[in-house]
Structure 1
Amino acid sequence: MKKTIFVFSSLIIALLVLFKLSEYSYLSGNLNIELLISAIAILFFIIGVYINKKGLAEKESGPIEVDWKKLENLGISKREYEVLQQVVKGLSNKEIGERLHLSESTIKTHVSNLLVKLDVKRRTQAIQKAKELKIMVE
């Protein structure tokens, strides 16, 4: 966090210095306005490329692997896990039942079992907890 604050503070200071230099150059008549705008555009382009590369480097940390041992320790069955995958997609019980070829009441049972096993009260909490426990990837 400190590094990010330092980088952005440095960028702001560099921009302020650039603006003051360009103001001085423009007032003294040594620089055309087009060159001033071009210099500022190039600077912002370089800053954008730097920030983009940094963001991509953070995202390329690798895929999150499912922790199958935790899944087993929680006692979540294969079918419950399939239901959890559908819950993460935001599907309703009826939609999950249609996809997995199960009745809606069976899906309700699996969802309630998942809530108990994950020690949560709502589906959204179950999704969050599953991601925290690394038993579900995004």
Structure 2
Amino acid sequence: MKKTILVFSLLILALLLLFQFSKYTLISGDLRIEYVMAIIAIVFLSIGIFINKKTQKQQPVSNTKIDLQKIEVLGISKREYEVLREVALGLSNQEIAEKLFVSESTIKTHVSNLLVKLNAKRRTQAIQISKELNII
């Protein structure tokens, strides 16, 4: 997070310096406006390509397999497991309910059951425990 803030701060600083330099060169008459516009366009194109490459970076695929026996040992039903996967994706109870075509109270019940079975106090803790147990 700190690295991202630093990178964007440096980009903003570089752009401000570029604009000040272009303003100076236009006032002094050393450079024509077409060249300044071309330089600014190239800089913005480069920044766009850089940001696109950073955001399109593929997430590393883990080679760990899901431990189905652990799911059975914990007593997690198929529907609770579906809810757990959706919770791991960061969906809210309402979003999960709409996706699985059930009521929100049903999802709340499943999440409560999952928290008990995984011995977790919060959804984030349940996800962390699930990842450690290789069930998601």
**Which TM class, normalised by the smaller chain length?**
0.5 to 0.7
Using the TM superposition, give the Cα deviation of residue 43 of structure 1 relative to its aligned residue in structure 2, in angstroms.
0.6
Aligned to 1:81: 78
Q: Return closer, same or farther for 1:7/1:86 CA change in 2, 3 Å cut-off.
A: closer
AA aligned to 2:81 is L
For the Cα contact (< 8 Å) 1:26–1:32, is it kept in 2?
Answer: yes
Q: Return closer, same or farther for 1:113/1:39 CA change in 2, 3 Å cut-off.
A: same
TM-score between both structures, scaled by the size of structure 2: 0.59
Q: Return closer, same or farther for 1:95/1:19 CA change in 2, 3 Å cut-off.
A: closer
Using the TM superposition, give the Cα deviation of residue 65 of structure 1 relative to its aligned residue in structure 2, in angstroms.
4.9
Q: Deviations over 1:14-58 (max 9, x none)?
A: 21221121011111223232332222122112112112212233x
Q: Deviations over 1:59-111 (max 9, x none)?
A: 422258564265355x124xx1333304637127x945xxxxxxxxxx79x83
For the Cα contact (< 8 Å) 1:76–1:114, is it kept in 2?
Answer: no
Aligned to 1:60: 59
Q: What is the root-mean-square deviation of aligned Cα atoms in Å?
A: 3.6
Aligned to 2:89: none
Aligned to 2:13: 13
1:47 matched to 2:47: yes
Percentage of matched positions with identical amino acids:
39
Larger Rg: 1
For the Cα contact (< 8 Å) 2:83–2:96, is it kept in 1?
Answer: yes
Paired with 2:101 and 2:9, the residues of 1 have a C-alpha distance of: 50
1:131 matched to 2:127: yes
AA aligned to 1:90 is I
AA aligned to 1:83 is E
Structure 2: gaps of 5 or more residues: 87-94
Aligned to 2:91: none
